[in-house]
Amino acid sequence: MKQLLAKNHPLRIFWFAALLTVGIGTWVGYLEGLSGLWIFAILLVLELTFSFDNAVVNSKVLVNMSEFWQKIFLTVGIFIAVFVVRFILPIVIVMIAAGRSFMDVIDLALNRPEEYGEVLHHASPMIDAFGGAFLLMIAASYFIDRNKTTHWIKGESWLARAGKFDNLKICLMLLLAVVLYFTVSPEYHAIVLISSILGILLHIGLELFGSLFSDDETKQKMRKQTGWAAFASFMYLEVLDASFSFDGVIGAFAITTSIVLIIAGLGVGAIWVRSLTIYLLRAGTLSKYRYLEHGAHWAIMALGIMMFVKLYHVEPPEWFTGGIGLVFILTAVISSVIEARREAAKNDSDGTLVREVATEEPSEKDAQKFKKAPKTARKK
């Protein structure tokens, strides 16, 4: 019983998400029948698939925050993730894209979901340019870092060495934004350039905001983030969650036009992602699997690239977009296990060799030489 109540036990971490899934699933089944329940389950899995790597990165950031801010992430953060990011934010995007009022878009979402989905899909270049730029900035900040010493793939060491050039990642991203401007459809030139630059600037702004209130590295290791530094990390996590959710919201309209089902499925999926983040944090998964964080950032880079690819009217299937992230994560876990076993075997062999040398009996020939040697030589 004590194990079940332990802080890091899966039952204690996932009970709320499981209970909420059963409750909302029952409500959806009552209103929409078995077909609605099936769509609800598909959307839940879709959200988990898209955001699994998000949970890995979340846990890395969350481990440096104080317990108070971790609780804020689980309470206020869930409200923002479910209601603001997956309902209000798409409405604001449709307002900007269609030039309509807030209440008009609300009416569109609730009473004319097909039209609402079409307008949201029409606004996808703005979403993909902003989200793709922000996600690629995250990946670039992780890999183009001269202080990064652990590498998974060979190219990572080269990218880490490139980090000695200050602002290289910003120059590369701005160059990419210019390339997008000249290569996408003419009607999207302005919106793609502005959105991609805003995504870059937002990431830079969050980094600067966090650095203003963070202590030096030695102090950071001794204590958790609080105050404005923790707030900056919290905002970073929320923007990251929004960037991951864009594709899920737009992809959901390819499955159903019911805004109720979309909010229910993606919202419950977001709560599972929050619970998964806490589990990874408390179980110390990042320390157990040394390449897991690497795999998550490669997945983030892949998702960012695919968001840019969509600007050229290429629509990768949903299973591919979500599945590629899982492939990177699973490969990283397998590589971590293999590396850990290799190091354990090496340590065991080194320990065995040391013990054999320490306990090795002198040969009979060596013993006779020792007896014949003068006493002065023996003392030496």
Domain boundaries, the chain: 10-344
CA distance 276 to 56: 8
pLDDT of the residue at 116: 82
CA distance 132 to 192: 11
Least confident of 41-55, 112-126, 281-295, 357-371: 357-371
The answer for residues whose C-beta is within 8 angstroms of residue 142's C-beta and 6 or more apart is 148, 293, 297
CA distance 315 to 321: 10
Residue 371 CA: distances (Å) to CA of 358, 360, 363, 365, 378: 22, 19, 13, 10, 9
CA distance 134 to 308: 11
pLDDT tens digit sequence for 197-240: 998 998 888 888 777 766 545 444 546 777 778 888 888 888 88
Residue 99 backbone zone (phi > 0: left; psi -120 to 50: alpha; other: beta): left
pLDDT of the residue at 172: 92
CA distance 303 to 53: 10
Residue with tokens 């899966």: 10
pLDDT of the residue at 219: 47
**Mean pLDDT value across the chain:** 80
Closest CA to 141 of 81, 226, 211: 211
pLDDT tens digit sequence for 85-141: 777 888 888 888 777 888 888 888 888 888 888 888 888 888 889 888 988 998 898
Do the beta carbons of residue 128 and residue 313 sit within 8 Å? no
pLDDT of the residue at 380: 46
Ramachandran angles phi, psi of 306, nearest 5°: -65, -30
pLDDT tens digit sequence for 312-363: 888 887 777 777 888 888 898 899 899 888 888 887 766 665 565 555 555 5
DSSP result, 52-113: HHHHHHHHHHHTTB-HHHHHHHHHHHHHIIIIIIIIIHHHHHHHHHHT--HHHHHHHHHH-H
pLDDT of the residue at 352: 62
Count CA atoms within 13 Å of residue 85 on its CB side: 28
